[in-house]
Amino acid sequence: MKMKSAQRKTSAKADGTKRVDCLFAVPVSFGAAIQVHHEKVRITPKSMKSIRTLCLTLLAATVLNSSVVLAQDKPAAKKSDIVAVAVGAGSFNTLIAAVKAAGLVETLQGPGPFTVFAPTDEAFAKLPKGTVEDLLKPENKEKLVAILTYHVVAGKIMAADVKTAKVKTVNGKELDVKVADGAVTVDGAKVVKVDIAASNGVIHVIDSVLLPK
């Protein structure tokens, strides 16, 4: 494609304005003849200001429209599963280590949904010295699985749905959930943070490790 360069001639007038002769080139393709148009434009300071304002308005509108389109086209952020959320929190390192040792990672990454009462690292630190290290040994895997599944309930139970009741865990045994004066306890452990959402359930944080009886 060929294009003839645009030319412009400017001449000053006695009234202080400028006369601009603009020559605009039209693209040529497949042997089409060049058609050149001459436009005479009389520019005054006032009209120049109006043109500048119009250009800025059009530019702002274009940028805003592009931002809206990009926002509409951007896919919604995908939620992480329970394991990923716990890892990202940074306060469940011992719990994650236990889940891996028990071989429960894939289970908690499954569709669920699950409600997990998750003890923090501080909660595990309350256990007698050497308890965690002992539980993580391969020969104690069955016992570890029993403890961890005692912290998991099938279904997604949000804080607003919690009430005083006996709740069956994945372990098969029941948790003693109590609600009093706006506070929730699970087998005596305090629920200190609720409704941490995951793609396959929800996490409620507790301040003690639950041990099945």
Which domains can be identified in the chain, with CATH numbers?
Answer: 7-73 (3.10.450), 82-206 (2.30.180.10)
Burial class (CB in 10 A: 0-12, 13-18, 19+), 25: middle
Residue 191 reports pLDDT greater than 60: yes
pLDDT at position 185, please? 93
**Whole-angstrom Cα distance, residue 104 to residue 96?**
10
Q: How are strands ordered across the β-sheet holding 18-24?
A: 7-12, 18-24, 37-43
pTM, rounded to two decimals:
0.63
What are residue 166's DSSP bridge partners? 176
What are residue 7's DSSP bridge partners? 23
CA dist 17 → 7, 14, 48, 53, 74 (Å): 20, 7, 11, 19, 50
pLDDT at position 151, please? 96
Mean pLDDT, to the nearest integer, of 65-93?
Answer: 70
Choose the weakest-confidence range: 1-15, 136-150, 187-201.
Answer: 1-15
What are residue 165's DSSP bridge partners? 177
What are residue 163's DSSP bridge partners? none
Q: What is the pLDDT of residues 103-145, one digit of tens each?
A: 999 899 988 899 999 999 999 999 999 999 999 999 999 999 9
Q: What is the pLDDT of residues 156-188, one digit of tens each?
A: 999 999 999 999 999 999 999 999 988 999 999
